[in-house]
Amino acid sequence: MAFFTEYLADPSTQRELLSQTAEHIYLTAVPVLIAVILGLGLGITAHRSPQLRSPILSVVSTFLTIPSLALFALLIPIVGIGATPAIIALTLYALLPIVRNTVSGLFSVDRAVVESAKGMGMSATMRLWKIELPNAWPVMLAGVRVATLLTVGIAAIAALVGGPGLGQEIFTGIRRIPAAGSLESLLGGTVAIVLLAILFDLLYLAIGRLTIPRGIRE
Amino acid sequence: MSNATSPETEIASLGEETPPGQTMIELKDLTKRFPGQETPAVDRLNLEIPKGEIVVFVGPSGCGKTTSLKMINRIIEPSSGNIIMDGQDVTSIDPNQLRRRIGYVIQQIGLFPHIRVGDNVATVPNLLGWDRERTTARVDELLDVVGLPPDQYRERFPKELSGGQRQRVGVARALAADPPVLLMDEPFGAIDPITRTRLQNEFLRLQSELQKTICFVTHDIDEAIKMGDRIAILREGSRVAQFATPEEILTNPANEFVEDFVGTGATLKRLKLTRVREVEPTEALVGTVDEDRAELRRRFDESEWTAMLLLDEQRRPLQWLRGTDLRSSRPLTEVGLRARATVEEQATLSDALEEMLLGAAGVAIVVDRRGAYQGLLDVDDIITAIQTMRDATAEFYRAAKLVDPEAEAGA
């Protein structure tokens, strides 16, 4: 382990890893945020409309079956290299867990609860915002969490299309194998990604604590 | 929500026009066809529901009683026909505005799990835009009315309540904006028998004060007889087999279907028609805990009674004491037989009989709503009551037959 601590002790490595981590956070947060906005709309639509449900779910599932390397590369002719193809591809990947959990979250709301809301004179919009979404929220949040962890991992591939993030450190290492220091880079990038994933997970735990109403907490 | 004011004012007066006893809700040729089904679920239902009464829809499962009920607040939109409420056709007005004026209680209750009990009850007042103080006051008042002390229950979440307590909150929520009409779909269906009986009695007591117009759906004829001022016995397609008072349905079923549905034991069922308060209770020999023991013993010895009922400071029954208990040296609250088998005045004779049979003493202790002793009821009282009922109805039908119905209608 001595070789790795030496690598970490180098100030230039530290600076490098820190800035790449910041980039990686950006590369995760932006696609997840876009996917939440899109996924919420798609999920609500799929829940409301039986006709649109299966097309929507099929399309978002298909995205996830495209190999990530291929999807990143396919986007280069359209949007060029750098962060943009990465953000687009990661958004598409993040959609499935969010849409799927939004749909199943909304279906998990007790029908009697929705019916009594209707019976008291709440409009469809009010029912959605005041009753259905708050009660579906724990399941929806779990979907966002899975989407985030998925994105943290896949975002490493972005380096291959000239994207930012911790993937750069990993691929620097891979390219230089078996030169000295290659293993350190590979390991450094990977460990940083794992740590980042754990931090995101803790963040979601905190968000859950703060936003899930006490009445429906486990 | 384009013109929020007009439908609001349009139905704000719901119930103020109609005097008690007059028709509050009229269903005219109400029909529901579900797509893909050959026969309509509800086939031209015509019914007049009098103001201030509980009308029970009862019938076998699949007869369309729930569909009929849910068309009144248009949770299910009628395929054809009209709903006239308080003289006004509500078949095509904004359903959300309509529903805010109709209380709605369903079997599964459907409390909102993510908000507190108080906020659940405040739902309709909030929708109607009541100010905060008025809403808070109303919520506390209603929790009190349904027997849940607001300080203790207002801040709880639905999951922290028992089934019976949830149902009470459901009723409080339905009553929040003081709607003149209440729709109840098997409201006590999912509750254990003991709690159900208690909730039924409490609800009847509440209704005697509130005088709401209530449509009540059940599949249980016993519940229908107990709760209904009038009963509509429905057969498939929601066709009315008989629409009459419970008394009349039991003594004079209109056809074989009603007879079969009411089943055997009509006399026993009629015990559900008479309330304990309608029967004169017997006075028991009572003593209270704060009285001197010697004094209690003196009273006991002077009386013919074999036991004395001991009451607490609030006059709630505690123990049955026999002579040996009064003479023993142990504290009075530790000797004797615990006084069980209490019934409220609102309970039916059937409830009272059941308590008597369960309790060891063979009598039921009548208590008021605070649990204070009112008197005793024994099996003889119940037999006498049955006798009187039978004589009275026999008299009624003899008299009815003597009058020429044609001449009566013409007069």
Cβ pair B106:A134 closer than 8 A: no
Of B75, B97, B110, which has the smallest distance from its Cβ to A113's Cβ?
Answer: B110
Name every residue whose Cβ is closer than 8 Å to that of residue A119 and which is 6 or more positions away in sequence.
Answer: B73, B75, B99, B102, B104, B106, B183
Tell me the chain B residues in contact with residue A119 when contact means C-beta distances shorter than 8 Å: 73, 75, 99, 102, 104, 106, 183
Please determine, for residue B5, whether its predicted confidence score (pLDDT) is greater than 50: no
Q: Could you give the 3-state DSSP secondary structure of residue B103?
A: strand
Of B73, B97, B158, which has the smallest distance from its Cβ to A119's Cβ?
Answer: B73
CA–CA distance, B127 with B131 (Å, rounded to integer): 11
> Looking at CA atoms only, how far is residue B96 from chain A in angstroms?
4
- The complex's ipTM? 0.85
Tell me the chain B residues in contact with residue A121 when contact means C-beta distances shorter than 8 Å: 95-100, 124, 127
Of B109, B113, B183, which has the smallest distance from its Cβ to A216's Cβ?
Answer: B113
Residue B24's H or E segment, with its range, is: strand B23-32
Helix (DSSP H) and strand (DSSP E) numbers for chain B = 18, 17
**B window 143-162, beta carbon within 8 A of A:** 157-159
CA–CA distance, B83 with B102 (Å, rounded to integer): 13
Dihedral pair phi/psi, residue B377, rounded to 5°: -130, 130
Strand order of the sheet with strand B317-321? B286-288, B308-311, B317-321, B337-338
Residue type, B341: A
Instruction: Provide the CB-side half-sphere exposure for A79 (13 A, CA).
Output: 16
- pTM comes to 0.75
DSSP B265: -
Strand locations in B199-303 (E): 213-218, 230-235, 239-244, 286-288
Longest dimension (CA), chain A: 72
Write out pLDDT tens, residues B331-347: 887 888 888 888 888 88
Tens of each residue's pLDDT in chain A, 218 residues: 677 888 888 888 889 899 999 999 999 999 999 999 999 999 999 999 999 999 999 999 999 899 988 888 889 899 888 889 899 999 999 999 999 999 999 999 999 999 999 999 999 999 999 999 999 999 999 999 999 999 999 999 888 888 899 999 999 888 888 888 888 889 999 999 999 999 999 999 999 999 999 999 87
Dihedral pair phi/psi, residue B162, rounded to 5°: -80, 170
Q: Do residues B146 and B202 touch, judged by C-beta distance below 8 A?
A: yes
Cβ pair B98:A110 closer than 8 A: no
Cβ pair B99:A110 closer than 8 A: no
Name every residue whose Cβ is closer than 8 Å to that of residue B116 and which is 6 or more positions away in sequence.
Answer: A215, B154, B155, B156, B157
B45 vs B31, B78, B85, B221, CA distance in Å?
7, 11, 15, 20
Q: Do residues A147 and A32 touch, judged by C-beta distance below 8 A?
A: yes
pLDDT the model gives residue B407: 44
Please determine, for residue B311, whether its predicted confidence score (pLDDT) is greater than 80: yes
Burial classification of residue A50, based on how many CB atoms lie within 10 Å of its CB (0-12 exposed, 13-18 middle, 19 or more buried): exposed
Write out pLDDT tens, residues B200-241: 988 998 999 999 999 999 998 989 998 999 999 999 999 999
Cβ pair B114:A134 closer than 8 A: yes
- Of the pLDDT bands very low, low, confident and very high (cuts 50, 70, 90), residue B115 is very high
CA–CA distance, B376 with B296 (Å, rounded to integer): 19
Q: Does B230 touch chain A (CB under 8 A)?
A: no
Cβ pair A120:B104 closer than 8 A: yes
Write out pLDDT tens, residues B249-301: 888 889 999 988 887 666 677 787 788 888 888 888 888 888 888 888 888 88
Helices B349-358/B379-402 angle, 10° precision: 160
SS3 sequence, B384-401?
HHHHHHHHHHHHHHHHHH
CA–CA distance, B245 with B69 (Å, rounded to integer): 19
> Looking at CA atoms only, how far is residue B44 from chain A in angstroms?
23
> Looking at CA atoms only, how far is residue A107 from chain B in angstroms?
15
Q: Does B130 touch chain A (CB under 8 A)?
A: no
Q: Does B112 touch chain A (CB under 8 A)?
A: yes
What topology does CATH give the domain A17-213? MetI-like fold (1.10.3720)
pLDDT the model gives residue B2: 40
Cβ pair B111:A113 closer than 8 A: yes
Cβ pair A113:B1 closer than 8 A: no
Q: Do residues B317 and B370 touch, judged by C-beta distance below 8 A?
A: no
Quick one: closest CA in B to A124, which residue? Answer: B96
Interface of A with B (CB under 8 A): 110, 112-123, 126, 131, 134-135, 213-216
Instruction: Please state the rounded mean pLDDT for residues B138-149.
Output: 94
Mean of the per-residue pLDDT values of chain B: 86
Please determine, for residue B12, whether its predicted confidence score (pLDDT) is greater than 60: no
Q: Does B110 touch chain A (CB under 8 A)?
A: yes
Lookup: tokens for B107? 């079997």
Place of tokens 């006075």: B283
Which of B272, B290, B274, B362 is closest to B332 using CA atoms?
B290
- Of the pLDDT bands very low, low, confident and very high (cuts 50, 70, 90), residue B319 is confident
* Dihedral angle computed from the Cα positions of residues A75, A79, A83 and A89, in that order, rounded to the nearest 10 degrees: -30
Please determine, for residue B401, whether its predicted confidence score (pLDDT) is greater than 60: no
Cβ pair A122:B1 closer than 8 A: no
pLDDT the model gives residue B16: 61
Q: Do residues B246 and B231 touch, judged by C-beta distance below 8 A?
A: yes
